[in-house]
Structures are given as C-alpha cells and as structure tokens.
Amino acid sequence: MPARPPYAALIGFYPAEPAQLEEAIRASFTDKRLGPGRLPGPPRADAPRPLGGVAPHAGYSYSGPAAAHLYLALAEAPYRPDTVVVIGTNHTGRGGLFTTTTYWEEWRTPLGSVPVDTEFVEELGRRYPGLVDDPSAHSEEHSVEVELPFLQYIYRGHRWSLVPIVAKDATPRIAAELAEAIAGAAEALGRRLLFIASSDFTHHGYMYGYVVFTENIRDNVAKLDLSIIEHILRLDTRGFISKIAETGATVCGYAAIAVLIEYTRLHGGSMELLKYYNSADVTGDEEIVVGYASILARRG
C-alpha cells in the first residue's frame, strides 16, 4: 500500500519542509528556558538504558521543548531499538479500544519514511486479540505521527520500524494485558523495543469542556498535573487512573500511559520526570491551558 502521508504536518503541527522541520527540532533542543538547552551528544556508556517514555504531541512551538527532554535522553542512551511502539490518543473515536493499522507499509514525514513492523503487529494481535486493525483511526490522527520526526532526528543513520497504536481507554487489567503482550511479542521476535506513550496532560478551558479553576490557572493546572504524574512515577496504574476519574482531568493519552506504566513494572524499571510545563508558560494565556510532560521510563 502507499505510504501514509504526513497529516500532522499538513495541518500545521510541525513544518512541512525538511529544512524548517529540522530547525524546529533543533530549536526545541536548544531552548534554554523550556527545553534541554543543547543538542544531543553521542551515546554515553553511563546513561540509563531506556524502556521508553511519555512525550507530548501538541504543535512543536508549544510542546517541542518538553518532548526534547525525553528525546535527548534517548539519543544519549547506549541503546538503539529495532522497533518503536508508539501508543497515542484516539482523538477521532474510530476503531476499537486499541487500534493499529497495517494498511500502510510505511509512514512518511518530511524527514523520510519509517517502515511499519508488520510482523510485530501480527504477533501482537495474536497475543492480544482486542487489538483492532483499522486505518480510519490513523488517517486523520496526529498523536503517533508527531513523535516520528524527533525519533528520525535522534536515530538518524539507524534503521528502525514502527508499531502505531491509538488508545481510547484502559483499566489497570487491560493495561497489564497489553503490556504483557507487547513484551511477549518483542521477546518472541527478538526485537530490541522502545515504547513511547504519546500524551498531553490536562486540557483546561471552555473549548475542552473542562473548567475547574478561575484564578491562578497556570499554577493550578500544574499542581493538578503534577499530582497525577506522582502516580506515574510510583508506577501506580490504579492510582493514576483513579486520580483522573476523581478529578475529571483531561489527560488525553492516559490509556497509553497506563500501558507504559505496566510495561515498566514488568521490566522492574522506574520512571523519571524530566520536564513539566504548560501552554501558559509559552503564551501567557490562561484561557486555554494544556499541560506537557516528558517522562523517561528506564530499566531497573
């Protein structure tokens, strides 16, 4: 089948021209206020071996510097994956609870094409029958795609393939089952795996139907998000999901994060918060505030 076109680039999440896209990625890394403040260096022998992490998926001018913290850590780790599982948010509502697609053999961005690991998708489907294969859930979805240029940038010259998935919802049990299936498929196929959960955090404002603060909105959204992130850092899937239900916080990719928590637990790993800020730190506008976090999942 033809390659999936770069939908998110076409609607303005990141530049559609290769040179401009590379500059936007470099600017995210070198941002001294919200980003790491430097470009990635070569892999370091003393760097932690990653399992993956949480990265945001807003427009690069908003969340790019947050994402760069995770991708800096991945770039400098002495580990190069064969396959990257990216579980994003299902914004369209199409497909099933967890939806992949093998319709496209590769996903295209302005930086080139990433092949789909069809063999892994098929093995994962055998191990987790609830995984639906439906391209309609991916054709107008940005949450997986937005991670790809960063991955292409840091793994330039290294061949890797993609397993694209979008998620609607998850219970702790479902998250654990899918995490076990992902780990089992990687082991069965001998894949070196990286797992990215693509998610923004609280979306506050009337356009999101979520207004709980009327003053100090930036700070209050940050406090809410950090209270949720505490459960992620403790690998507390049940507490994480319960906190979101209790507060109604609009964390769009919570199902993806829940699977990553369980995947990290399965490997005896840990989580580290690398960076948090929200859109009000970028724009100064508190009418609409969206939280962004970069969280590293590392092996124990």
Instruction: Give residue limits of the domains in the chain.
Output: 7-298
Average pLDDT, the chain: 97
Model pLDDT, residue 231: 98
* In this structure, CATH architecture of domain 7-298: 3-Layer(aba) Sandwich (3.40)
Task: Give the whole-angstrom CA distance, residue 217 versus residue 212.
Answer: 9
Q: Residue 238's CB: how many other CB atoms inside 10 A?
A: 14
Report whether pLDDT(82) > 90: yes
Tens digits of residue pLDDT in 236-291 = 999 999 999 999 999 999 999 999 999 999 999 999 999 999 999 999 999 999 99
Report whether pLDDT(1) > 70: no
Report whether pLDDT(73) > 70: yes
Task: Give the whole-angstrom CA distance, residue 124 versus residue 97.
Answer: 15
Report whether pLDDT(56) > 70: yes
Model pLDDT, residue 76: 98
DSSP symbols for 151-220: HHHHTTTS--EEEEEEES---HHHHHHHHHHHHHHHHHHT--EEEEEE----EEBGGGTB---SSSHHHH
Identify the CA nearest to 87 among candidates 79, 99, 75: 99
Model pLDDT, residue 48: 87
Strands (DSSP E) found in the chain: 50-55, 83-89, 98-100, 106-109, 112-115, 131-133, 161-167, 193-198, 203-204, 270-278, 289-298
- Give the pLDDT band (50/70/90) at residue 160: very high
Model pLDDT, residue 187: 98
Percent of the chain past pLDDT 90, that is, above it, reads: 98
| Tokens of residue 195, six digits | 């797992």
Tens digits of residue pLDDT in 141-151 = 999 999 999 99
